[in-house]
Chains A and B, each alone.
Chain A
Amino acid sequence: MDFDPTDEQRMLAETVNSLLDKRYDPSGRLKLLDSELGWSRELWQQYAQLGLLGLTFDEQYDGAGMGGAELATVMESFGRALVLEPYFATVVLGGTLVAQAGTPEQKAAILPKVAAGELLLAFASTEPGTRWSQTGIATTAARSADGDGWTISGEKIAVLGADSANTLIVSAVTPDGIGLFLVDAADVSIDGYPMQDGQRGGDVLLVNAPAQLLGTSANAIDHISSVIDVATAALCAESIGVCERMLWMTVDYLKTRVQFGRPIAVFQALQFRAADMYVALEQAKSMALLARLSLDDDDPAARQRTVRAAKIQVDLSSRQIGQESIQLHGGIGMTMEYPVGHYFKRSAVIGKTFADTSELIELVGADGGLIG
Chain B
Amino acid sequence: MDIALGKEDLAFAERMRSFFRTEIPAEIRAKGERGEHLSREDFVTTQQILNSRGLAVPHWPAAWGGQDWTALQRHIWAEEMALAHVPPPLAFNAAMVGPVIATFGSEELKQRFLPPTANLDIWWCQGFSEPNAGSDLASLTTRAVRDGDTYVINGQKTWTTLAQWADWIFCLVRTDPEAKKQLGISFVLVDMKTPGVTVRPIRLIDGGYEVNEVFFDDVRIPADQLVGEENKGWDYAKFLLGNERTGVAGTGIIKARIARLKKVAAETRSHGKPLLEDPLFRARLTRLEVETTALTMSVLRVLANEAKHPGKPDPVSSVLKLRGSELQQEASELLVDVLGPAALGYRETAKVSEGFAALPDGAVDAMPTYFNWRKASIYSGSSEVQRSIIARAILKF
- Report A's interface with B, CB cutoff 8 A: 1-4, 247, 251, 254-255, 265-266, 268, 271-272, 274-276, 278-279, 282-287, 289-290, 293-294, 296-297, 306, 309, 312-313, 316, 358, 361-362, 364-366, 369-372
Q: Which residues of A sit under 8 angstroms from B397, Cβ to Cβ?
A: 255, 265-266
Q: Which residues of B are at the interface with A, using a C-beta cutoff of 8 A? A: 1, 3-6, 9, 72, 255, 258-260, 262-263, 279, 282-283, 285-287, 289-298, 300-301, 303-305, 307-308, 315-316, 319, 322-323, 384, 386-388, 390-391, 394-397
Which of the listed residues A271, A278, A296 has the most CB atoms from chain B within 10 Å of its own CB? A278
How far is it, in angstroms, between the C-alpha of A3 and the C-alpha of B395 when the chains are bound?
A: 26
- Assuming the A-B contacts A1-B4, A279-B322, are A371 and B289 also in contact, with contact meaning beta carbons closer than 8 angstroms in the complex? yes
Q: Are A372 and B258 in contact (CB under 8 A)?
A: yes
Inter-chain contacts of A370 with B (CB < 8 A): 1, 286, 289-290, 292-293
Chain A hits for B304, CB < 8 A: 1-4
- A1 touches which one: B6, B260, B283 (CB < 8 A)? B6
In the bound complex, residues from chain B placing their C-beta under 8 Å from that of A372 are 255, 258-260, 262-263
- Do B287 and A306 touch across chains, with their CB atoms under 8 A apart? no
Interface of A is mostly: helix
Flag if B290 contacts A312 (CB, 8 Å).
yes
A287 with B283, Cβ < 8 A, contacts A1-B9, A369-B262, A371-B255 known: no
Q: Is A275 a contact partner of B391 (Cβ separation < 8 A)?
A: yes
Whether B297 pairs with A290 at a CB distance below 8 angstroms is yes
A366 to B294, CA, bound (A): 19
Minimal Cβ-Cβ distance residue in B for A284 = B294
The residues of B that contact A247 with a CB separation of less than 8 Å are: 394
A280 to nearest B CB, angstroms?
10
Contacts of A275 in B (CB 8 A): 386-388, 390-391, 394
Is A251 a contact of B395 with CB atoms below 8 Å?
Answer: yes
Asked if B395 and A361 make an inter-chain contact with CB atoms under 8 angstroms apart, the answer reads: no
Could you say which of B3, B282, B315 contacts A290, with CB atoms under 8 Å apart? B3
**In the docked arrangement, what's the CA distance between A364 and B293, Å?**
13
With A276-B387, A306-B3, A372-B258 known as contacts, the answer to whether A313 contacts B294 (CB < 8 A) is: yes
- Shortest CB-to-CB span from A368 to chain B, Å, is 9
With A3-B304, A276-B387 known as contacts, the answer to whether A290 contacts B4 (CB < 8 A) is: yes
Closest to B8 in A: A1
B286, A365: Cβ atoms closer than 8 Å: yes
* B316 near A361: Cβ-Cβ < 8 Å: no
What CA separation (Å) do A371 and B256 show in the bound complex?
9
A266 to B395, CA, bound (A): 9
17 contacts between A and B (CB under 8 A): A2-B307, A3-B304, A254-B395, A266-B397, A279-B390, A286-B296, A287-B297, A289-B4, A289-B297, A290-B1, A294-B3, A312-B286, A313-B291, A361-B290, A364-B290, A372-B262, A372-B263
Contacts of A3 in B (CB 8 A): 300-301, 304-305
